[in-house]
Chain A
Amino acid sequence: DIQMTQSPSFLSASVGDRVTINCKASQNINKYLNWYQQKLGEAPKRLIYNTNNLQTGIPSRFSGSGSGTDYTLTISSLQPEDFATYFCLQHNSFPFTFGSGTKLEIK
C-alpha cells in the first residue's frame, strides 16, 4: 500500500498569510493526487485534482503542485473561511490512501 505522509498535522496562521501543506507518498503516484477541505459536519470539498487542477468554483488562492512522491497545497492569502482541516488523497493505485490531515487554525 502507498503511505501518504502529510505535514504539518496542525498549522496556526493569520488571515492574509501564505501557507503550504505537504503530502509525501511512499512511491511515485504519477500526479494522481487530490486535495480536500473539510469543515465539521460537512462533506469534504475537493479543491484540487490531479496535483494542480483547480476545482470549478474554488478560489484561485488555492493551488497545487508536485510530482513523483512530493505534493504541496498552497493557500496564497488565508481568508477567514479557510480555517478548516485539509487532507490529500492518492488515487494512482489500489488501495487508494489518504493523508492524515492538517488542521489549520487561526493564530
Chain B
Amino acid sequence: QVQLKETGPGLVQPTQTLSITCTVSGFSLTSYYMQWVRQTPGKGLEWMGFIRSGGSTEYNSEFKSRLSISRDTSKNQVFLKMNSLKTEDTGVYYCARANWELWGQGVMVTVSS
C-alpha cells in the first residue's frame, strides 16, 4: 500500500532544531520527488522544499538558511531538519509525494518553552 507517515517530536523549545522523518511505503524514493509543506496559524500552507529522485534539493528561500532535507533510500525515509526554531514555526508539517498526489497525515509541532 502506498502511504506516507510523518513522525516528529511534538514539542520543541525555541532556538532548538526540529527533526521530522517521513517514512514511505509502496514506492521507491529513487523514483519520486518528495516535498515538505507546513501549515501554520500565521501563514497557512507553505511549501518548504523538496528532494529530487536523484537526491538533489530545492528550498523555499523563506527557509533556506535554516532548512535541510535529506533521505535514506535504504530505509525509505526522508528527513526534514530546521534549526533556530521560533514560536511562529508551530504548526503541522507534511510530506507529500512528487506531484502532490499523495500526502501524509502530518505531524503537529509546537515550539514553546
Contact = CB atoms under 8 A, between A and B. Distances in A.
Interface residues of A, number: 20
Contacts, number: 42
Interface residues of B, number: 19
B61 A95 contact: yes
A36 B46 CA distance: 14
A100 B101 contact: no
A38 to B, nearest CB: 9
A34 interface: yes
The interface residues of chain A, by DSSP majority, are classed as loop
A42 B102 CA distance: 12
A43 B104 contact: yes
A100 B46 CA distance: 10
A91 B99 contact: yes
B105 interface: yes
Contacts of A91: 99-100
Contacts of A97: 47
B62 to A, nearest CB: 7
Interface of B: 4, 44-47, 58, 60-62, 94, 96, 99-106
Interface of A: 34, 36, 41-46, 49, 55, 87, 89, 91, 94-98, 100-101
